[in-house]
Homo-oligomer: A and B are copies of this chain.
Amino acid sequence: MKLLEERILKDGKMRDGGILKVDTFLNHQMDIKFLNEIGKEFKRLFSDQQITKILTIEASGIAIASIASQYFDYVPVVFAKKTKSKNLDGELLTSQVRSYTKGIVTDIQVEKKFLKPEDKILIIDDFLARGQALMGLIDIVNQAGATVVGCGIVIEKGFQDGGKMLRDKGIRVESLAIVDSIGEGSISFIEQ
């Protein structure tokens, strides 16, 4: 997605060690008009699919998934929670996710009632690097007996192994930008 690559070049912060910060428009401060363009693009890519629900994970996936839903006939959006609160008191589907950014393993959970065997789920998230969050979400969809139609990712770090691992498992992954390499102040993308 040209518009996204241009925005990353303009507003992203690139650092040695494969670090890309897009917090001015994607995952801390959010440009909602731009997220609408992202939502439209996900719809274009998955227009051949019938989707009944969008699944994401807190926190940075929520805005992207919610705006995208508007282009998928307003299907419900469910987000997996990373903390257990008193409000989660139904039967839970849980999985474990290792975050390399935060250096911890987190239990993620979704109330079972929100995912039905007949559901066709589009998983949406901001980043795909090692694929741990997506694997956790796919695990939860599988536990529910529902179908993963595919994963819609805003930015994939093509130099990490998550995308290959998921595609090797037969999961459809559509990433709007795939980063080839990141250096201090520089970034290159894989032509799609």
The interface stretch among A68-76, A131-139, A148-156 is: A68-76
Contact call B28/A69, Cβ cutoff below 8 A:
no
CB neighbours of A66 from chain B (8 A): 30, 32, 35, 62-63, 66-67
With A23-B87, A62-B59, A62-B62 as contacts: A78 and B35 at CB distance below 8 Å: no
The complex is assembled from copies of this chain, and their number is: 2
Interface size on A, residues (CB 8 A): 41
CB neighbours of A114 from chain B (8 A): 24, 28-29
Contact call A87/B21, Cβ cutoff below 8 A:
yes
CB within 8 Å of B: which A31-72 residues: 31-33, 35-36, 58-59, 62-63, 65-67, 69-70
A81 is an interface residue with CB less than 8 A from chain B = yes
Contact call A28/B63, Cβ cutoff below 8 A:
no
Contact call A77/B33, Cβ cutoff below 8 A:
no
With A86-B101, A87-B23, A111-B23 as contacts: A78 and B29 at CB distance below 8 Å: yes
Top 9 nearest A-B pairs by Cβ distance? A58-B59, A63-B66, A32-B69, A33-B74, A62-B62, A29-B78, A30-B77, A29-B114, A59-B59
Knowing that A86-B102, A87-B101 are A-B contacts, what are 9 other residue pairs whose CB atoms are under 8 Å apart, sorted by A's residue number? A27-B87, A28-B111, A28-B114, A29-B78, A30-B77, A30-B79, A36-B70, A62-B63, A63-B79
The chain A residues found within 8 Å of chain B, CB to CB, are: 19, 21, 23-24, 27-33, 35-36, 58-59, 62-63, 65-67, 69-70, 74-79, 81, 83, 85-89, 101-103, 110-111, 114
